[in-house]
A and B are shown apart, each in its own frame.
Chain A
Amino acid sequence: MAINDDDYYIKKTLEGDSNSFSVLVERYQNMVFALALKMLKHREESEEVSQDTFIKVYKSLSKFNGESKFSTWIYRIAYNTCLDRIKKNSKYNNNVEINEITSNEISHTESIFDSLENKERSIIVKQCMDKLPEDERIIIHLFYFEELNLKEIVEIVSMTEGNVKVKLFRARKKLFSIFKESVEPEIYSSYER
């Protein structure tokens, strides 16, 4: 079934069939949870916030006017719910220094990246992502992992396109710097070889 049949389940839910909503929950739970986890970095809290997101979606389903994609609308609600939680906790502050990056450095770091075992690579990248400031981490996740376009990201995070572009550019450099730093011993040893 096409994703566009979201409309069908939305309509059924609005008509009072609350069980139809479970199809939408099943469909978007991973996406919402992944976004919450990227923002909050805590599994239990992310699950709680994801649940809150779906309850909010259910309560305000009648306000969804179809102007944007349903997934974008859910993302926006999830993003704002996470932001509220972050504001409440105010413990997620990251500052990463950005250095100039050369193509040589990128090639070297990429070869180290390739030499890592799949599992190890995945763990390191996840740790590096977690070190990014939360707004940049989300933009990177939405752009590269969920493969959303700039217009959709702009709608979700309520920033200007220029602002998103700047953050995306900065986030790429920061992520690279963090990754390079975390695999630095390997880089030095590769130079020695």
Chain B
Amino acid sequence: MNDKEKDLLDNFTKRMVKETPVEKPSIDFSRNVMDTINALEVEKEKRVFEPLISNKVWLLISAGIIALTVFILKTGVNMNEGYLSQIDFSGYTNAISFETSYNLNISNTALYGFIFLAIMIPIQIGYLKSYHNKKFE
């Protein structure tokens, strides 16, 4: 096919395609789309839930813990003098102690590792929760 034929075909194709009618959707198309979108929005609003513990309560709890810590540090309460010191827990602690049950010695490093792991788990739960919330939004 030479250039002249290509141009002729190009022009003719343009004429042909321009001849096709302008296709329009039904009159209520836009309304249907908006109805679906509004229904989606309502559904989304329904799904928004209130947390069990509100921010106010969290603030109160945090303030309470801080106040208690400060109080203990300031007054220097000795745990040995409290009511707890009068109760003998050795029966319980010995029963669940690894050291006595399995004759295991846990080093300080391992202990710190476990503590760190325990801290990481709640952090990860929070992270995963926000990740999944975003995913399902």
Is B17 touching A51 in the complex (CB atoms < 8 A)? no
Is B20 touching A172 in the complex (CB atoms < 8 A)? no
- Bound Cα distance from A101 to B26, whole angstroms: 40
Is B33 touching A25 in the complex (CB atoms < 8 A)? yes
- Bound Cα distance from A47 to B15, whole angstroms: 27
Chain A, range 162-187, C-beta contacts under 8 Å to B = 172-173, 175-176, 179
- Bound Cα distance from A22 to B31, whole angstroms: 8
Interface membership of B114, Cβ < 8 A: no
Interface membership of B96, Cβ < 8 A: no
Interface membership of B23, Cβ < 8 A: yes
For residue A64, give the distance in angstroms from its CB to the closest CB of chain B: 16
- Bound Cα distance from A100 to B29, whole angstroms: 43
Is A103 touching B4 in the complex (CB atoms < 8 A)? yes
Is A129 touching B17 in the complex (CB atoms < 8 A)? yes
Interface membership of A30, Cβ < 8 A: yes
Task: Report the nearest B residue to A175, measured CB to CB.
Answer: B13
For residue A116, give the distance in angstroms from its CB to the closest CB of chain B: 9
Is A101 touching B1 in the complex (CB atoms < 8 A)? yes
Is B37 touching A55 in the complex (CB atoms < 8 A)? yes
Interface membership of A75, Cβ < 8 A: no
Interface membership of B90, Cβ < 8 A: no
Q: Give 18 new A-B contacts, CB below 8 A, not counting A55-B40, A175-B16.
A: A18-B34, A18-B37, A19-B34, A22-B34, A30-B22, A30-B23, A30-B25, A33-B24, A47-B25, A55-B33, A55-B36, A101-B1, A101-B5, A103-B8, A106-B5, A106-B8, A144-B13, A144-B14
Chain B residues with CB under 8 A of A109: 12
Is B19 touching A172 in the complex (CB atoms < 8 A)? no
Is A140 touching B17 in the complex (CB atoms < 8 A)? yes
- Bound Cα distance from A51 to B34, whole angstroms: 9
Given contacts A18-B37, A50-B29, contact A113 B17 (CB under 8 A): no
Which residues of A does B touch, CB under 8 Å? 18-19, 21-22, 25-26, 29-30, 33-34, 37, 46-47, 50-51, 54-55, 58-59, 100-103, 106-107, 109-110, 113, 121-122, 125-126, 128-129, 140-141, 144-145, 172-173, 175-176, 179
For residue B36, give the distance in angstroms from its CB to the closest CB of chain A: 6
Chain A residues with CB under 8 A of B15: 110, 113
Mask of B59-70 contacts with A, CB within 8 angstroms, 1/0: 000000000000
Cβ-neighbour of B16 out of A30, A51, A103, A125 (below 8 A) = A125
For the complex of A and B, 3 pairs with smallest distance between CB atoms: A144-B17, A33-B25, A34-B23
For residue A162, give the distance in angstroms from its CB to the closest CB of chain B: 17
27 contacts between A and B (CB under 8 A): A18-B34, A22-B34, A25-B33, A29-B30, A29-B33, A33-B23, A33-B24, A34-B23, A54-B33, A55-B33, A58-B37, A59-B40, A101-B5, A101-B9, A106-B12, A110-B12, A122-B21, A126-B20, A128-B16, A129-B20, A140-B13, A144-B13, A144-B18, A172-B9, A172-B10, A172-B13, A176-B9
